Structures are given as C-alpha cells and as structure tokens.
Structure 1
Amino acid sequence: MHKVKIEISSNRIDEPPIEVVYFGSMEEKEENALIRYSESELTGMEGVFTELLIRGDHLEIVRTGKVEARMVFKEKVQDRFLYAMEMGTLNMVLKTDKLHIHRTGGGYAIEIRYQLEIGGNPPEGNDMKIRITRN
C-alpha cells in the first residue's frame, strides 16, 4: 500500500473547473488499482469515503458513509445507479463518452468526458481529470 495525493478537476462543459486535492492510499495488483480517500468539509461531503477502482478499461467510483453510490465509467457505456443521501435517493444515468486511463510512473492520469442525468432531468456534459501521484 502506498500513500498518494489525489488531484481532481471537474466541471460542466464550458464552465470553470472545481479543483480539489485529497490524500489517501493506493493498492495495486496487475492491471487493477484501488485508491481510497475521505471526502472533505470543503466539498460539503464530510463523512463520505470514496474508492476509485481502476479495472483495465473502466473506472468505478464507490462512495460510502453519508452518501451511498457506485458509478461505473466505461467508454460508450451507460450506467444507471442510485445516489442515496440522508435526505433521499436520486436515480441517475451516467453515459461515458470518453475515458483515458494512463499509467504514470507511480500513479495514474485519468480523463473522463461524460453525460449525467439526475432524477430524469436532461443530461449535462461534464469533464473530469484525476491525477494520482505517490507521496
């Protein structure tokens, strides 16, 4: 297990990005990696634990704690999931348009372009970049 820095930049298409930095751990086995970190008060998600599971051609983001959700990012694939919060549960649909997972020395660089539909509303385009580096 390695200590890692996780830098995430996320935005709706044509809007400025929101950038956050976390510190967590990473375990690797062959083509797979498991990155774990705790969300912060700054994002309004204190009490939420996040796992990034890199599995060859796709990425899973699993949230537990005050939020329960499992999102699967796989290019050209649509994923339906429930996003459970203390105040209720939302149905969401995630369609990954583009996913690039690059191995970089001791970490990863991930780029995702996806559409997210929340509670039946029209889907919105989003870009996310995740950079994972060993501490």
Structure 2
Amino acid sequence: MISVRGEQYFDDVDPNATELMTEGTLEQTEDGFLLSYQETELTGMEGTLTTFEIGPGRVILRRSGSVNSQMVFEEGRQHTSLYETPYGELSVDIQTSRLLHNLTERGGLMEIKYSIAVEHVVTGRNCFKIRVRRK
C-alpha cells in the first residue's frame, strides 16, 4: 500500500494538498529501489504509471501514459526536463531543497521538497510525502 501526499505552497496561501492511497510495488534494485503505482482520477492523471527510481542521493520520477514526464530530484541541485501533456510540452525546472528516505524492502517513508518553475517562471514550492507499507 502506498500513501502519497502532495502539497503545493504558494505565497501567503494555505497549502493545497492531495492525498492518494493506492496499491503499487516496491522493488529493491542494484542501486536502490523502484516504487511504482497507477495514478487515479483523483490526481487528474488517470491512465498514467508513476515510477520513482530511488538511488543514492537522487530520485527520478517518471510518468508514462496520459501524462509523460521525467523529473530529477537531487538535493541542492537544479534539473530541467520536459513535461508532456495532452495540450503540449512545457519546460520544467526542479530545484530540490530536501530529499530523504528510510525505505527498506518492507516499506518506509520518503520526503521530497522542491520548488518548480514552468518555462523558467517559479510557480510554487511542492512537497511529496510517500509512505509505503505491506498490504
């Protein structure tokens, strides 16, 4: 079972939060872990597979399906990628301020705090809090 809480912070406004509880997989890999789940109607990305590739000091978030994107999270670094939507592609800059996890093959927690800029204009600060536990 995977619990994903996404929070978006905008200037002087209470955070906008979305919480998803879903089934998924957590696999141990040579370099860390692979966490995967299907998005639902709740997130607005139904028909999309989300995968977190969790390695030492870096997490790569990939989405494929109705939304296609790749986001790289590395504490203290900025990464730019394309975010493909049904309406077109956008350039997205990700600046990660915090990346930590205590995942094991039995589950655990992961937290990623980052700011996001779309077409080089900062649109807010975000936070993923993901809890994984056996069903």
Could you state the TM-score of these two structures normalised by the residue count of structure 1? 0.88
CA shift for structure 1 position 47: 1.1
- 1:82-103 Cα offsets, whole Å, 9 max, x none, are 0001110111000001111113
Can you give the 5+ residue segments of structure 2 that lack an aligned partner in the other structure?
none
**What corresponds to 2:4 in structure 1?**
8
CA shift for structure 1 position 17: 2.3
Hey, which bits of structure 1, 4+ residues long, moved more than 6 A? Answer: none
SS of equivalent residue, structure 2 residue 23: strand
Residues 21 and 35 of structure 1: CA distance in aligned 2, closer, same or farther (over 3 Å): same
**What corresponds to 1:132 in structure 2?**
132
**In structure 2, distance between residues paired with 1:36 and 1:103:** 14
**In structure 1, distance between residues paired with 2:51 and 2:122:** 27
**In structure 1, distance between residues paired with 2:44 and 2:29:** 32
**In structure 2, distance between residues paired with 1:86 and 1:103:** 34
Preserved contact between residue 3 and residue 131 of structure 2 (Cα < 8 Å): yes
Q: Which amino acid aligns with 1:15?
A: P
Count of residues paired in the alignment: 131
Could you state the TM-score of these two structures normalised by the residue count of structure 2? 0.88
Can you give the 5+ residue segments of structure 1 that lack an aligned partner in the other structure?
none
